[in-house]
Amino acid sequence: MSSGPDRPDGTTGRGPLAGILVADFSRILAGPYSTMLLADLGAEVVKVEGPGGDDTRTWQPPVREGVSTYYLGVNRNKRSVALDLKDPADADLARELARRADVFVENFKPGGLGRFGLDYDSVAAINPGVVYASISGFGSGPGGAALPGYDLIVQAISGFMSLTGDTDGEPYRAGVALFDVMAGLHATIGVLAALNHRHETGLGQHVEVNLLSSALSGLVNQTSAYVAGGVVPFRMGNSHPSLFPYEPLPCADGELIITAGNDGQFRRLCEVLGVPELAVDARFLRNEDRTANREELRPLLVERLRTRSKMDWFRDIIGAGVPCGPINTIDQGVAFAEEIGLDPVVSVGQGAAAVPSVRNPITFSATEAEYRLPPPTLDEHGAEIRRWLAEPVGRREEHSA
């Protein structure tokens, strides 16, 4: 690591990525989600924002004390500095941060940071060990670099929306920016793999992730149906193309998701429902039989399910070892996680400044995730970081992850 002060506050985290400095030049969702995960695991993240701040600061409602909850959701454990890259002095500070960083994350339009000397080649020239992660909508090649990279556009172009919605209805988007989140996860995996490579070789590299590739990978069995089987999937509402039952089924007071993923689970489901004869019916004996004959099987299951409430069935069906669950609202989902001991909400910060936040989903036996800092206000740590970047520090000659 470099000599002299290599952290804005002179401290390091305690998690598995303690000692890693991340220069975060990303905004909106995919990049900030990735850097928040790295920060949760102990990395020191400096969030570089333009004078107007991250776009999601203005994406409201909803808000908490006037601050966008969208922004709050992906920016904890970071320090914010506002730098105008068009200002030569601020651009110098940005390049100094890049020189000191272990990891550099950006989601500018491909090539957009080149005019500031912050593209991969320029940063690697002054920091050969840097792991430089670029997130784009459609890649940096000539065909995709100029295309705008918003999640909803990728949901449409990837084919995802053609799979979502009622069979005879219109295509629908997901209720969350699914591929932004997925690209953020892929970027995090790429960064960690590149850090391990650097640990072995001392050399960094350029990690590139794009939303469309993340989408096509994340569509798993649906894209495989086409590329491996020549089958173009289509909308099936809440039904599954390869399994039944694997969908919501109506009970006396609402619907219950039931997912009998194998023949043994289906037999147990039939026993709980009081129709064991269905499990030995030749029409429903194997999964492929049930899938082919779902229109005959569904009303037979629904006839039994409608005799009791969804929560009564939930308790009995789960008790028999068959996966199922009620369709909850978000508040009910959080409450359920609390009920089963997952502690999904953490408080980040102290006293009145503390912000409720969703817990990092990863647990470790030795190095837990940390919640050190609430999401920063714009340029909250600007003076501190500017002073730090002005202090002399030796060039990195050795890198360790």
What amino acid positions are annotated as catalytic residues? 180
> CA angle, 280 as apex, 274 and 281 as ends, to 5°?
100
d(CA 270, CA 279): 6
**Closest by alpha carbon to 37, among 11, 58, 60, 16?**
16
- Residues 194, 124: contact at Cβ < 8 Å? no
47/53 Cα distance (integer angstroms): 10
Q: State how far the Cα of 214 lies from the Cα of 216, in Å rounded to an integer.
A: 6
Place of tokens 């350029």: 206
Are 211 and 184 within 8 A, CB to CB? no
CA distances from 370 to 10, 14, 18, 286, 323 (A): 17, 8, 10, 47, 32
Q: Is 308 helix (H, G, I), strand (E, B) or coil?
A: coil
At residue 151's C-alpha, the angle toward residues 147 and 153, to 5°, is: 55
Maximum distance among all Cα pairs of the chain, rounded to whole angstroms: 79
Residue 105's nearest CA partner among 46, 19, 173 is 46
CA distance 345 to 347: 7
Nearest 5°: the CA angle 341, 342, 346 is 115
φ/ψ of residue 276, rounded to 5: -60, -20
204: closest CA among 103, 96, 95, 94? 103
